[in-house]
Structure 1
Amino acid sequence: MTLFLKATNSNWYSEFIRPAAEAVLSVKPHQYILDIGTGPGNLPLMLIAAEPTLKITGIDVDTTMIDTARKRSANGRVNFLYQKMDAALEFGDSQFDVVSFCSVLFLLNDNSKTLLMNEALRVLKPGGSIIILTPSGSKARFTAFSEVSRFKPLKHNLTYLFWKVLTTGGGRRWQKGEWLPDFAKDNRLDYKTIRTFNDNALLETITLNNNP
C-alpha cells in the first residue's frame, strides 16, 4: 500500500474531505455528481454512505487508483472510470448537478487546469456547482502532528505529517496565485471560498448561473 493510500485510510483524511462532502450535499439538487481525480474514491464513498440513492461517477488518470476504488465499492453503487490525461471528458453536456475536485487542481499546470475546468463547466447543469478542496499550506509544518493527535490509532497520523510536508508549498502557491478566482472572474462565474480543516484546507465553490 502506498503512502497516499495509507493517508486516505486514516481518520484525519476523512475530516479533511468532510467539508467537501457537506458542500456537495448542500447543492440543490445534487443527484448526479462527478468527482474528478477521485483517487481511491474516498469522497464518492463518503457521499454514497450519506445518501445511497445518489448517482456518482469518479474518474482518475491512475488505473491503480481506479482499481482500488472499485474494490472499495464492492456493491458497485459508484461508477469509477479511467480518464485519459489532458483529454476531454467522455460525458455529454449538462449531465451533472455537482462536479468536485479534491487535491487535484493545485498539482496541475495552467493548461491542464484550464482544460479540466472548462470541461467541468461543459458537463455541469445550469445552476450547478463545482466544489474544489485544496490543502492551504497556511500553517507551519512543525504543528502538523499536534493538530491530528486526537485521531486514533496514532501511528496513522504520521501520514498527516508527510501530507503536510508534501502539500504545503503547492497549497501556498495555489492561494497566492489566485488562479481559480481569476478563472471565475474571466468566465463571469459566481465564486466563494472558506477555510476548513483547522485552516489547513481551502474550500472553493464556483456556481454556473442558470442564464447563459
Structure 2
Amino acid sequence: MGNNNSSLKHKNKKIETNKEIDNKTTELEEKKELKYYIPNNYDDIDRVHMFHFLQRYIFQSNFSSPIEERLMQEKCKVLDVGCGPGTWLLDLANKYEKCVFYGLDNNPIFPNEIKPGNLNFIKAGMFDGLPFPDNEFDFVHQGFVLFVVKADQWNFIISEMIRVTKPGGYIELLEPFSSFRGFGPIVRKIHEAHLASCSERGVDMKVLPNLDKIIKSNQQTPIVYKEERFFISGPNGGKVGTAHEDIYVGYHDNDAAMENLSPILGISKEKYKIMITKDLVEELKHTSPEFSLLRFWAKKINNN
C-alpha cells in the first residue's frame, strides 16, 4: 500500500490550506443512503457531542499520539477526516490557539459561523481522496467511521491520511469495538443486526481491531501503536456505563434506526420501539455488556 499513486490522482483538486476558506452556511441534508449511520438531525448531533466527551473521559485525553508539546509550542496544522459536527476539533482549537485546524466531511453538519478563528470546515468526501497536497499536516485524525467504510476502502483512506501527513507527523484513528462479552440477548440481537446491515453494504466490522495491520503495510508508517480501553455499558458500569447507555439507547430509539433494524430483526416497528425503550433498558440493569474504544496511531517517517 503506497501513497504515490493517490497523490497523483488527486493533484488537480488540492486545497491550499494557507488560504482563507469560504464556509457558507448550510443546513442539514437528508441522506437517502446510510441515513441511520450518518447524523441527520440535532438529536443525532447531540449524541455525537456526548460520545466525544465520553471517549475523552475514558482515555483522559483527546488523542494518544505524542504530539502535545508540538501543539502547544508550534503552529501545527491538524486535519480531522469525517469530522461530523466538529466536536473534537472545537475542543482542540480552543486549547491550542497557535495551531490551525481543518475538518472535512461530506455531510455539512459542522458550524460555519460560531467557531474559533483557527478552525476551518470543508465539505468534501473522503472516498475520492483527500483534497490536500502531500505532506501538508502535522496531525491527521479520524474517528467513528466504522459503519460507513467498506472493507476494501480502508487501505485507500489510510493511505490518503498518510500521504497528506508531514514526515515526523502523526496519524490517529479512533473506533468503538465490542467483543460480545457479557452481552444479554437483546444487546446481542442488536449487535448482530448491525453486522448483517453492514455486511449487506460491504462493511466488515471485524476489520476494526486489525487496523494496525493496514497502517503497518504502508512503508512510511512501519510502527503502529494500539491502545484499548474497556468499559461496561449500563448502570453496572458506573458513570461511564450510564453515559454510554444514554448514547446507545438514544442511538437506536429513532425512526431511521427502526426502519433499518426492525426488518433485519424480523419484528414490527411497534415491537422494536418497546424492545429499545423498555426491554433493553431493563436488560442493562441485570447485565454487564463490555465495550471498548480503540486508538491506533503511527508516526510518518521520511524514507526518501
CA distance in 2, matches of 1:21, 1:167: 30
Aligned AA (1:190): I
Does 2:299 correspond to 1:207?
Answer: yes
| 1:22 aligned counterpart, secondary structure | coil
After superposition, the C-alpha distances for 1:97-149 in whole angstroms (9 at most, x for unaligned) are: 1100011256311333222211111111001111100002245556xxxxxxx
Does 2:111 correspond to 1:69?
Answer: yes
Does 2:279 correspond to 1:187?
Answer: no
Does 2:153 correspond to 1:120?
Answer: no
The answer (yes or no) to whether the contact 1:101–1:133 under 8 Å persists in 2 is: yes
How many residues align? The count is 185
Which residue of structure 1 aligns with residue 47 of structure 2? 7
CA distance in 2, matches of 1:71, 1:134: 29
Which residue of structure 1 aligns with residue 90 of structure 2? 45
Judging changes above 3 Å, is the alpha-carbon distance between structure 1 residues 71 and 60 closer, same or farther for their aligned structure 2 residues? same
CA distance in 2, matches of 1:134, 1:76: 29
1:77-156 alignment runs, 5 A limit: 77-84=118-125, 86-105=127-146, 107-138=148-179, 140=182
Q: Which runs of 5+ in 2 are unaligned?
A: 1-40, 199-203, 232-290
Q: Quick one: which of 229, 239, 243 aligns to 1:196?
A: 229
Root-mean-square deviation (Å): 3.0
After superposition, the C-alpha distances for 1:150-170 in whole angstroms (9 at most, x for unaligned) are: xxxxxxxxxxx9xx9699857
**Structure number having the greater strand percentage:** 1
| 2:83 aligned counterpart, secondary structure | coil
1:159-198 alignment runs, 5 A limit: 169=195, 173-175=206-208, 178=210, 180-188=211-219, 189-196=222-229, 198=231
Judging changes above 3 Å, is the alpha-carbon distance between structure 1 residues 44 and 166 closer, same or farther for their aligned structure 2 residues? farther
How far off its partner does 1:210 sit? 3.2
TM-score scaled to structure 1, two decimals?
0.73
| 1:130 aligned counterpart, secondary structure | strand
The answer (yes or no) to whether the contact 2:228–2:294 under 8 Å persists in 1 is: yes
How far off its partner does 1:89 sit? 1.5
Query: What is the aligned-residue identity percentage?
Result: 22
CA distance in 2, matches of 1:127, 1:197: 30
Judging changes above 3 Å, is the alpha-carbon distance between structure 1 residues 184 and 195 closer, same or farther for their aligned structure 2 residues? same
The answer (yes or no) to whether the contact 1:133–1:204 under 8 Å persists in 2 is: yes
**Could you tell which deviates more after superposition, 126-135 or 27-36?**
27-36
How far off its partner does 1:71 sit? 4.4
How far off its partner does 1:2 sit? 4.0
Which residue of structure 2 aligns with residue 54 of structure 1? 99
CA distance in 2, matches of 1:14, 1:167: 27
After superposition, the C-alpha distances for 1:58-90 in whole angstroms (9 at most, x for unaligned) are: 000112x2xx332452x4431000113521211
Judging changes above 3 Å, is the alpha-carbon distance between structure 1 residues 175 and 117 closer, same or farther for their aligned structure 2 residues? closer
After superposition, the C-alpha distances for 1:5-39 in whole angstroms (9 at most, x for unaligned) are: 120233x5313146462325635634111100000
CA distance in 1, matches of 2:112, 2:47: 18
Judging changes above 3 Å, is the alpha-carbon distance between structure 1 residues 42 and 141 closer, same or farther for their aligned structure 2 residues? farther
CA distance in 1, matches of 2:223, 2:162: 12
Aligned AA (1:192): Y
TM-score scaled to structure 2, two decimals?
0.53
Q: Which runs of 5+ in 1 are unaligned?
A: 143-160
Aligned AA (1:186): S
How far off its partner does 1:202 sit? 0.4
